[in-house]
Structure 1
């Protein structure tokens, strides 16, 4: 079936993709997420390229898709919503204890009303299945998509080389972040191997619903002010490259030769430029603020 025409969405000023860091915070307070490898990956500004892929992975879970479709304002301004999520995540990752907890509380308050029952039958999820945003298993999947896409983009696009031990430390370092977003220890995979197995198993069980496809269209038709021709097509190419192939295909983001070439060009450009980029360009300023606070 042909897709319905994209809606006219609010334009996003380009300055919005450079969210300011929080205040300096309490000197000496490393915050709840101080692990070096977790911050090393999270600090890479290139990880923002994985934002759409993370959202599409999240809503490929039918219960997450239903919650977002019914309760979210993605359609009113998908780019602003995504960047608001980004700012909260950066504050939790790099803020001091009070800043991180307050950012997490704001997200928790926004998610508290998200509950209900599904409206349509989906394979494995019959109509009437209850959902709530703070369900531990759903919260774990949302956290997993953020960790997995950030690591994937950092390695693939920013040239960050993680040894097996560094991958393990990156996963362990993400656990305090998860706990602040209502993911209890009892559902967190113990090791990075268990984490990767969990992601792979969950991906095999995902079902991309019509609600998820609608959210994807909103997320992938972001508009900027001033307009940047070709940005939407490039976002689709990168998202198709980052997503697991079956999930990308279910969204209609098949890895065509054109998309593979576009994603390859972005990878080559970023990996070549990254070693010579100044820190304020390559890394989120939140990382510098956190470093200065504990120096």
Structure 2
């Protein structure tokens, strides 16, 4: 007979599943097939660390929000969003597109992932302009591509460490950075950090270029009020948004001028999201991760074990 706790958890699975799919549809355009062709490993494959880290929804969504906060600190990256993105009217759409890109380049078959990368490269060619100080920018600038990639990879890893309920050894973290840089390089980034130490050095180098401007604060204000298309939208947003704040490096949080009250909210949200991790994993057990695993003949449970690493 199932225990009362088990029955309670099962009762939450379907609402959580509807919550996630309502806010972030797996394939909003209907053009991605995660089931075929059989045996296609995609760009990373089932032995990768990336398949495991990107499988954890709480860490990925909170990490994605943390990355977006960090990205507002770079004047040229922010200018591109300010001039070319409909973030004021469709911030949820922007988050969905990022979610689709990360999911597809991680788990879709090779040809589909490569087509999506080429599409993004094409779009980047039209995103160019001049920042507030007169500095020209372009979305296909290798330095800007590296900044966006590193903030995302760093935040996704931080999210997994905080909410994945499993230790992440240094060798695993280094392998993750080394794996995911191939996406950034395919988009045109150069000199992409390939280990935790290199990421730390990269942030130290780029920090003098960063600032929290009036534009940064406006984007963050809109982010703080975004309504996800799910029940209890405000509560859902606040839990993930404050959990995202908990993932930020101290220097980024300082630049963003987070208050003691925001830090307290972040700690509370992080604890709440950590406790919800098992429910999210159970509710999404038939998602694109499981479909990709079946495509290559691997049990989805293998994603809860780290692959062997050298050393």
- Counterparts in 2 of 1:156 and 1:278: CA distance versus 1, 3 Å: closer
Query: 1:208 Cα shift?
Result: 1.6
Q: 2:283 aligns with which of 263, 281, 284?
A: 281
Give the count of matched residue pairs: 271
Q: Which residue pairs with 2:265 in the alignment?
A: 262
User: Is 1:174 paired with 2:174?
Assistant: no
Q: 2:206 aligns with which of 194, 202, 209?
A: 202
**Residue of structure 2 equivalent to 1:188:** 192
1:235 CA drift (Å): 4.4
Gaps of 5+ in 2: 1-18, 298-311
* 1:127-148 per-position Cα deviation (integer Å, ceiling 9, x unaligned): 2211100100110010001100
Cα deviation per residue 1:219-278 (whole Å; 9 max; x = unaligned)? Answer: 22111344534344434422322222343343343242xx3443333333443453x447
Q: 1:218 to 1:110 in 2, by over 3 A?
A: farther
Given candidates 244, 252, 257, the residue that maps to 1:239 is 244
In structure 1, list runs of 5 or more residues that go unmatched.
1-12, 121-126
Q: Secondary structure at the match of 2:244?
A: helix
Supply the distance in 1 between the matched residues of 2:137 and 2:234 (Cα, whole angstroms). 39
| Per-residue CA distance 1:91-149 (angstroms, 9 max, x = gap) | 0111111110122122223322111122x3xxxxxx22111001001100100011000
**By how many angstroms is 1:158 displaced?**
2.3
Which residue in 1 is equivalent to 2:164? Answer: 158
Q: In the alignment, is the contact (CA less than 8 A) between 1:59 and 1:65 conserved in 2?
A: yes
Aligned partners of 2:242 and 2:266 also within 8 Å: yes
Q: Specify which of 292, 295, 300 is matched with residue 293 of structure 1.
A: 295
Asked whether 1:248 is paired with 2:248, we answer no
Question: Which of 110, 113, 118 is matched with 2:123 structurally?
Answer: 110
TM-score, normalised on structure 1?
Answer: 0.82
Over aligned residues, Cα RMSD in angstroms? 2.4
State yes or no: 1:218 paired with 2:230: no
> The residue matched to 1:56 in structure 2 has which SS?
helix
Distance 1:255 1:110, change over 3 A: farther
**Matches of 2:169 and 2:208, distance apart in 1:** 26
In the other structure, the counterpart of 2:97 is: 84
Mapped to 2, the partners of 1:165 and 1:204 lie a distance apart of 29
2:61 and 2:241 mapped to 1: Cα distance?
14
1:142-175 deviation digits (Å, cap 9, x = unpaired)? 0001100000011012223111111111111112
Give the 3-state SS of the residue equivalent to 1:162 in structure 2. coil
Structure 1 residue 85 displacement after superposition:
1.0
Please give the alpha-carbon distance, in whole angstroms, between the structure 2 residues aligned to 1:162 and 1:92: 22
Taking the TM superposition and a 5 Å limit, the aligned residue runs for 1:32-71 are: 32-34=43-45, 36-46=48-58, 47-71=60-84
Do the aligned partners of residues 208 and 284 (structure 1) sit closer, same or farther apart at CA in structure 2, a change above 3 Å counting?
farther
Per the TM alignment, residue 58 of structure 1 is displaced from its structure 2 partner at its CA by 1.4
Match of 2:4 in 1: none
Between 135-144 and 76-85, the greater mean CA deviation after superposition: 76-85
Give the match for residue 10 of structure 1: none
Farther-moved stretch of structure 1 (142-151 vs 35-44): 35-44
Q: State the secondary structure of the residue aligned to 2:258.
A: coil
